[in-house]
Chains A and B, each alone.
Chain A
Amino acid sequence: EPEVTQTPSHQVTQMGQEVILRCVPISNHLYFYWYRQILGQKVEFLVSFYNNEISEKSEIFDDQFSVERPDGSNFTLKIRSTKLEDSAMYFCASSYFLTSDTQETQYFGPGTRLLVL
């Protein structure tokens, strides 16, 4: 069964450094998402992406964050200048959005655990 994959599984970085988290969505999926889960807290929506542009973003997704689909398979989340509070598990998800009538399921990757020191 096709799966969403993410690399790296763990990333440790110094505050102020840039990080890029990588995701390979399921190949025929059209919608891509990033979520994050700070330890002990809820899974929170960050951003959704369709047709090479952001379709929706949350308040968390400020100017420090950006997403990109650099080629036909990868979907990346970049944090330009990491802060301590960016430490979290970051999940990528993808879905095949059929029509405006829903019937959409999001499939999640295993996550990247980011630790900012």
Chain B
Amino acid sequence: AQSVSQHNHHVILSEAASLELGCNYSYGGTVNLFWYVQYPGQHLQLLLKYFSGDPLVKGIKGFEAEFIKSKFSFNLRKPSVQWSDTAEYFCAVNARSGGYNKLIFGAGTRLAVHP
């Protein structure tokens, strides 16, 4: 069965620190990969996505992620975090199943950025 693992459940950083959130998936077929962000009290928003092509994808707000197929990984990075990045981050895989799509989410990583 498909699954997504996020290694860090809680991350605490100071402003300007670099961020890397790990995500590994388990699925042998074609996948699309996503990072969603949920700011406090708000809904899930798409941060970035990978469908094909350049494995280094850039998203909104200075985030980027790298797809490494051999490692089944799609880690999220940001060189310098801000207080406003405090949120929960979800990695998700869109695994094709019978021609229809569903998202399989990781458990999420709660990021707290201190000024």
Contacts and interface: CB of A to CB of B under 8 A. Distances in A.
Contacts of A41: 107
A35 B104 CA distance: 10
A108 B47 CA distance: 12
A56 B98 contact: yes
Contact of A31 (B45, B101, B104): B101
Interface string B23-38: 0000000101010100
A56 B2 CA distance: 15
Contact of B101 (A35, A48, A108): A48
A95 B100 CA distance: 12
B25 to A, nearest CB: 13
Contact of B44 (A45, A91, A104): A91
A48 B102 contact: yes
A65 interface: no
Interface string A85-97: 0000001010101
Contacts, number: 62
18 contacts: A33-B102, A41-B107, A42-B105, A42-B107, A50-B100, A56-B97, A91-B44, A93-B103, A102-B32, A102-B51, A102-B96, A102-B101, A104-B94, A106-B101, A107-B46, A108-B36, A108-B43, A108-B44
Given A33-B103, A102-B30, A111-B43, 10 more contacts: A35-B103, A43-B92, A43-B103, A43-B105, A44-B105, A48-B101, A56-B98, A102-B101, A105-B34, A106-B103
Interface of B: 30, 32, 34, 36, 42-46, 49, 51, 90, 92, 94, 96-108
Q: Which 4 A-B pairs have the closest CB atoms?
A: A110-B43, A108-B44, A43-B105, A45-B102
Interface of A: 31, 33, 35, 41-45, 48, 50, 55-56, 58, 91, 93, 95, 97, 100, 102-111
